[in-house]
Structure 1
Amino acid sequence: MRNPCWGSVGRLMFKNEETEKFQSNEATIQPNGFLLVLEKEDLSVIKASTNFSKIVVGGAKTIIGHTFEELFGAAITANLRRRINQEGRTLMLISGDFPLFDQRKFNCFVQTIENRILIEMEESDDDAEASTEQTVALTEAVASFGKVGSIEELIHLVPPELKKLSGFDRVMVYKLDQAMTGHIIAERVSPGMESFLHLSFPAQDITLETCESYCRNTVRAVPDSYYEPATLVGDSGPITLSNCALASASKLHIQHLRENGIGASLTISIVSNGRLWGLIVCHHAKAKAVPHWLRSYCEVIGKLISLKISAYEDNAERDLKEKLRRFFEKVRENPTQEALEIELINSAPTILELFDGKGLALISGDTIRTYPVTPADIDLSKYAEWLKTTDQKHFFVEDNLRAKFPLEGMIETASGVITMSFPAHDLSMHIFRPELTQTFTWASSIFMSVEKTRANTHPFQVLRQTIEKHSAPWTLNQMFMAQVFFDSMKNTLNAIEQK
């Protein structure tokens, strides 16, 4: 949840009657695999998917009531028992000559949920295994990702490498900003496929529940957007499929795919330090098999990219903290308020670099010191008086200062501000950002603008909006470090006063 003293860009108001979820709430599966639900105690089948009728005479009803050992034999049952208490989904191969299943081979994923065991089964054949070329593509992608020196380089390398590995027609990187607005920041498409590059999607399109789901299940696939879901039959007890790869996608997600001519999709989560940083989204014009080897390779790539982004962000944060530490260490060498103020102005270039600001103003009593581009002194004086005469918080971050302090003279150089006020010491410091005109190309399932509602909007029909009189938004890292700086300043001033 955003801190109420942090600014927010005044974008469109969106109303989405059904916010985007990947998974359906219904207990149905995609028919590219089969699902068994076993009682944990005796391994008897209590539920099965209806699409078993494709490979078993009599379908699911023939299977229900049998024990797993009756279906697949003692050796495979012993293998299953070793996996029952393992955490997460574990891979198991079922292969042999079974009365009900002929000589079929299955790649199975096993997971235990309370007193039930879920087994996802996908038929395995030569086409379901990775070729030498595909394994080489994975190796080359991993090697390429290891050579990059920044997040930007990494992200722009992802689409071509994933496209080569997966064979999908469109591969995009979708990044979430601190307001949970999504942006397509990199893309590679096949000829004839529409580009989604630079489209933005409102925060309402991905709920907190959906973010948590993407963090848990980092690879999602819809091999055929025109599939007919298979239901589960058997006992009437409820079952959750939230961690199943075969679980049906939500009706809204399927509608999005179909209405945009997408026959298959593959989504890989990028999770940095426990939060959903973004997604790698792959689209194909026609239905396309997504075998377990491809999902496994994509899981490896997703984790590698997530780890590298986490490392880049951690290093950036460490650098910021080290610069702050050195600054306050220098202040402690001469602990007076006058020395602190001099050091703040002398260190203005470093402080602006820390927060990507363009101007700094230090107001001590009636004295105003600035560096290098800030509002006029008369406007700064009015701003300082306003801070004293309102109940405005002593620390706040804003990218739309006009919404709080309507003085037109400050908009050009100070649309965004980090304000740190210390009224007990008659001191305040302000870091400014100028106005930045931004144009957003919005894409969503349902739009509602400030002026009017646009009904029956095509899910990816775009709507352009220009934002003025705002600065570039402050990042979460910058806001966090500003809070740390404010607290350190307050502690330093209090320590000086007590000497």
Structure 2
Amino acid sequence: MNIESIINEDVVSITNCESEPIHIPGSIQPHGFLLAVTVVDFTIAYCSENCLEFLNKTHEELLGIKLDDIFDKKDVINIEQQFNNASQELARPFVLNFGDKSFHVTAHASNEVIVLEFEMFSEEKMELPDIFIQMKRFAYYTERADNLQSLCQDIADETRSITGYDRVMIYRFDKEYNGEVYAESKNENLDPFLNLHYPHTDIPVQARALYLRNLVRMLVDVSYTPVPIFTIGEGAKNNNLDLSLSNLRSVSPIHLQYLKNMKVGATFVISLIHHGKLWGLISCHHSSAKQIPYYIRLSAHLQGIFLSSQIDVRQTADEFELTKETERKIVDLQNLLVKNQNNITDKNTLIKLKDLINSNGVILHFNEANYIEGLLPDEPEIDDLIGWLKLEKGSQNFSTHQLHQHYAGATQIANSIAGVVYLPLSDKNCIVWTRREVEKNIYWAGDPSKAIEKNDENSLLSPRKSFEVWKQAVKLSSSEWKTPELKEAAAISVSIQRQLHLADLMAEEKRYATLNEKLQKSNDELANMNWISTHDLKEPLRKIQMYGSIILEKDGAIIPDSVKENIFRMQNSASKMQVLINDLLTYSKVVNDEKKLDPVDLNTMLQEILLDFKENIEEKNISIQLHHLPIVYGIHFQIRQLFLNLISNSIKFTRPEVTPEISISGEIVTSNKIEFESQKFYKIIVKDNGIGFDEVYKEKVFKIFQRLHSQAEFMGTGIGLSICKKIAELHGGYIEAQGVKGEGAIFTVYFPVDNLSS
């Protein structure tokens, strides 16, 4: 049988404190012994070397045998039953007898084994009346203490009374896990540690992780000699035993040296857990070796549970006055905003906004402008800060009392801005509260920069030797933002957003009023232009045509042919200009006429339109198919103009090689356009087999002055279909076009079914 020690040599030759494998030391403290048995049949798989001292059996004798080969079978069955009933963890310690000795036993699962830890049983224990008195005292402390620190002081005093340690400290962590002695109870002859700070490296990350899992840890003697654990196998590297939950687990050599440097002989530590995180510790120190019975440890642990339960309550109580004051300010500010809805940027509003969370300055960034109040740097520095916040933080809230750790430009503006609260109000707008730099002194237990030092001889790590008070002057930081302040800042941002939205609406309303005024002037000018078009332009064109005709009639025989051709071109251009002016006047009339809807019988109207085109239809031998059409509500002359233009196009754009056909039909349909929300429409279809157009132009054909056919035989101004589109829209409908080049075109007009007469 190959029996080897699993002691972890990496623990004693550590060169990187944060990688120290403190959960697998492979050894225990000597005030108890350890057996680890298989879950299947309780065969001993691991055994501490000091079993001989307690059981009169060596580890060689114990490894590989069953647990009931050593202890009474009824005790082994009892342990097994309790372990299974408690979901692989003993619900309470178990007392086990071995000859004339009694052991206090605890157990926990570690991978595929059950770790059993044995300590000599002590008759000293707290009876029920003592526990009752302890709870009664705690209730008294909670009633008496008016803040968290005074309650912590009471708990420190009570814990020292229960345990008998020389010093008991309540140790509180900050966000970076630097520690502060928040309360202290000690012997009179000891120097005080109260209010001293300790760097986060004193309790590295893996140690904090263990404090979260194993809530009570006792170190009996700082100068102990570790007891190795043995197993059957191929060495420690393949047979590590995780002792994260162990009471007897050996302590890191670095931590032992740390305690020796502090002249501490024994420790007892209780974890304080708050919202699943390590809030702090109850740390007990003794100048010499000290062991306390398990039931005393439970009693002290109860103090930690009491205190953890009160952290939220007490922190809320400590912030209560600030909360009341801040809530009063927010009510005042909201009342001011209600009374002064027109201008969120007024000086009085900005002053109250600044004072809301006890800031030194406030910046309201609204529509690319900064409205400021209080102690702030110059405009360029403000612009740079706002630009950085919007770029880096975007739509995320952000607060810090150490801006220099985030923003490169903070060192230049620290005298006015060292801390900020940034709340985005929209993509463009935000509000920023600022606090100036406040220098303060922090008193450390030794220089934090030398918390861990390297030994010059072997490059191994060693904790600092000096714990003399070391003063650090902290600069480039503001006072910290408190939770009630941040909550109220977030709460008021909703009101500010509403006010800014109102300000935007009012500015928009003002812009619309100005625009409306300009549009009215433009309409007046357009009306004048209509009058000019009707009188001043039409008359000269008529005269041009008339004089051209007179010249040709009077002097046609003697005028050269080239001159005649120019006169014809002049008359043709004048005629085109007249058509264009008439179309523009029609378009203007469609846009500007008041909307009064009357019933329009499309059957009668289209019969009249086709009669107007009778000569053109007969000349081109066009086949007309006119199906039954509905009565729609609309403006009679506008609807007539719409269908006049559509039928005119179908007659105009025929193909000479085929017999022209025009079909006009109607039906009731439900619109598939999103903006009309399944509304019912009269669908009127005008279809021909003319020259058509390319489908890519189906939207472009409705643009004003847009002509798709440039051949001379297809005369037009490019306004007709624009007029059709405008008429359809003015009636609450729309028009669509489909075309196939060389095959024909389909124009579909939609009139609302529920377009009642107004």
Q: Please, what TM-score do these two structures have when normalized by structure 2? A: 0.54
Cα pair 2:419 2:437 within 8 Å, conserved: yes
The SS at the match of 2:153 is helix
Equivalent pair of 2:18/2:205 in contact (CA under 8 Å): no
The answer to whether the 8 Å contact 1:174/1:183 transfers is yes
1:185 aligned partner, one-letter code = Y
- The alpha carbon displacement at 1:444 in A equals 5.7
Which residue in 1 is equivalent to 2:151?
Answer: 154
Q: Distance in 1 between matches of 2:473 and 2:36?
A: 52
Aligned to 2:383: 385
| Aligned match of 1:79 | 78
Match of 2:356 in 1: 351
SS of alignment partner, residue 152 of structure 2? helix
Equivalent position of 2:220 in the other structure: 223
Write the letter of the residue equivalent to 1:51: N
1:201 & 1:20 partners in 2: Cα distance?
A: 20
Provide the residue aligned with 1:277 in structure 2: 279
CA distance in 1 between counterparts of 2:186 and 2:106 reads: 32
Q: How does 1:423-462 map to 2 (within 5 A)?
A: 424-425=427-428, 427-443=429-445, 447-448=449-450, 457-458=464-465, 460-462=467-469
2-structure distance, mates of 1:23, 1:134: 36
Q: Equivalent of 2:308, from 306, 309, 314?
A: 306
Once residues 309 and 50 of structure 1 are traced to their aligned partners in structure 2, the CA distance between those partners, rounded to angstroms, is 43
- In the aligned structure 1, how far is the partner of 2:486 from the partner of 2:79? 48
SS of equivalent residue, structure 1 residue 65: coil
Identify which of 179, 190, 197 aligns with 1:182: 179
SS at 1:435's partner residue? Answer: coil
Q: Normalized against structure 1, the TM-score is what?
A: 0.79
Amino acid of the structure 1 residue aligned with 2:384: W
CA displacement 1:107-141 (0-9 Å, x = unmatched): 11111234311111111132x43479975773454
Partner of 2:139: 143
Residue 83 of structure 1 and its aligned partner are, at CA, apart by 2.3
Q: 1:248 aligns with which of 241, 247, 250?
A: 250
2:423 is the counterpart of 1:420: yes
Q: How does 1:95-494 map to 2 (within 5 A)?
A: 95-96=96-97, 101-126=98-123, 128-130=124-126, 135=131, 138-139=134-135, 141-147=137-143, 148-236=145-233, 237-313=239-315, 338=342, 345=350, 348=353, 351-352=356-357, 357-364=359-366, 368=371, 370=373, 374-375=374-375, 379=377, 381-390=379-388, 391-394=391-394, 395-401=397-403, 404-405=408-409, 411-422=414-425, 424-425=427-428, 427-443=429-445, 447-448=449-450, 457-458=464-465, 460-474=467-481, 477=483, 481=487
8 Å CA contact 1:183, 1:198 repeated in 2: yes
3-state SS of 1:440 partner: strand
* Structure ID, larger Rg: 2
**Contact 2:159-2:168 within 8 A present in 1 as well:** yes
What is the one-letter code of the residue matched to 1:93?
A: F
1:108–1:122 contact (8 Å) kept in structure 2? yes
5+ long unaligned stretches in structure 1: 1-15
Contact kept, 8 Å, 2:102 with 2:121, in 1: the verdict is: yes
* Aligned pairs, number: 466
SS in 1 for 2:183: strand
Residues 387 and 92 from structure 1, CA distance in 2 versus in 1: closer, same or farther, beyond 3 angstroms?
closer
Residue matched to 1:4:
none
| Cα contact 1:198–1:441 (8 A) shared by 2 | yes
Alpha-carbon contact 1:93-1:105 (below 8 Å) kept:
no
Contact 1:199 / 1:441 at 8 angstroms: preserved in 2? yes
Q: 2:34 aligned with 1:35, yes or no? A: yes
* CA RMSD in angstroms, aligned pairs only: 4.2
* Structure 2 CA distance for aligned equivalents of residues 168 and 280 of structure 1: 12
Q: Is the 8 A contact 1:420 1:428 kept in 2?
A: yes
Alpha-carbon distance between aligned partners in 2 of 1:20 and 1:459, rounded to the nearest angstrom: 24
- The CA distance in 2 between the partners of 1:282 and 1:349, in whole Å, is 45
1:91 maps to: 92
Q: Is the 8 A contact 1:256 1:459 kept in 2?
A: no
2: CA distance, partners of 1:334 / 1:170: 58
Change (3 A) 1:162 1:464: same
Q: Among the aligned pairs, what percent are the same residue?
A: 20
Following superposition, the deviation at residue 317 of structure 1 comes to 9.1
Post-superposition shift, 1:93?
2.5
Match of 2:512 in 1: none
Residues 387-412 of structure 1: CA deviation (Å, up to 9, x unaligned): 4555453554332446644586x544
Write the distance in 2 (CA, Å) between the matches of 1:335 and 1:76. Answer: 80
Q: Distance in 2 between matches of 1:22 and 1:491?
A: 53
Shift of 1:264: 0.6
Tell me the CA shift for residue 21 of structure 1.
7.4
Structure 1 residues 95 and 316, CA gap change in structure 2 (3 angstroms): same
From the superposition, tell whether residues 479 and 323 of structure 1 become closer, same or farther in structure 2 (CA, over 3 Å).
Answer: closer
The Cα shift of 1:486 comes to 9.1
User: SS of 1:414's equivalent?
Assistant: coil
Structure 2: distance between partners of 1:159 and 1:251:
28
Deviations 1:158-211 (A, max 9, x none): 222221111111111111111222111221221332322222122333333322
Contact 1:399 1:472 in 2 (8 A): yes
Distance 2:485 2:90 in 1: 38
Cα distance in 1 for residues equivalent to 2:196 and 2:381: 37
Contact 1:24 1:249 in 2 (8 A): no
Q: C-alpha separation between the residues in 1 aligned to 2:432 and 2:64?
A: 72
Q: CA deviation at 1:89?
A: 4.7
Q: Secondary structure at the match of 2:281?
A: strand
For the pair 1:53 / 2:37, whether they are aligned, the reply is: no
- Secondary structure at the counterpart of residue 282 of structure 1: strand
- In structure 2, the partner of 1:11 is none
Contact 1:173 1:185 in 2 (8 A): yes
Contact kept in structure 1, 2:401 and 2:418, CA below 8 Å: yes
Q: CA–CA distance in 2 between the matches of 1:453 and 1:66?
A: 45
Partners of 2:31 and 2:430 lie apart in 1 by: 63
In structure 1, distance between residues paired with 2:43 and 2:217: 29
Asked if the contact 1:345/1:369 (under 8 Å) is kept, the reply is yes
Looking at secondary structure, tell me which structure has more helix per residue.
Answer: 2
Separation in 2 of the partners of 1:92 and 1:254? 28
After TM superposition, the structure 1 stretch with the greater mean CA deviation from structure 2, 253-262 or 429-438, is: 429-438
Unaligned runs of 5+ in 2: 1-14, 234-238, 457-461, 507-758
Instruction: Name 2:43's counterpart in structure 1.
Output: 44
Secondary structure at the aligned position of 1:55 is classed as helix
Cα 1:246/1:363, change in 2 over 3 Å: same
What SS does the aligned partner of 2:92 have? strand
Which whole-Å CA distance do the structure 2 matches of 1:207 and 1:335 have between them?
A: 55
CA separation in 1, counterparts of 2:505 and 2:26?
66
CA distance in 2 between counterparts of 1:337 and 1:423 reads 19
Retained in 2: the 8 A contact 1:440–1:464? yes
Moved more, 214-223 or 388-397: 388-397
Instruction: Look up the equivalent residue of 2:39 and give its one-letter code.
Output: K
In structure 2, the CA distance between the partners of 1:389 and 1:25, relative to structure 1 (3 Å rule), is: same
Change (3 A) 1:465 1:454: farther
- What is the rounded CA distance, in whole Å, between the counterparts of 1:270 and 1:155 in structure 2? 11
**1:8 aligns to what?**
none
Instruction: Say which structure, 1 or 2, has more relative contact order (CA 8 Å, 6+ apart).
Output: 1
Post-superposition offset of 1:226: 1.0
CA 1:110–1:401 in 2, change beyond 3 Å: closer, same or farther? Answer: closer
Tell me how far 1:460 sits from its aligned partner: 2.6
Q: Contact conserved, 2:422 with 2:433, CA < 8 A, in 1?
A: yes
CA contact (8 A) 2:261 2:466 kept: yes
| Superposition deviation, residue 218 in structure 1 | 1.3
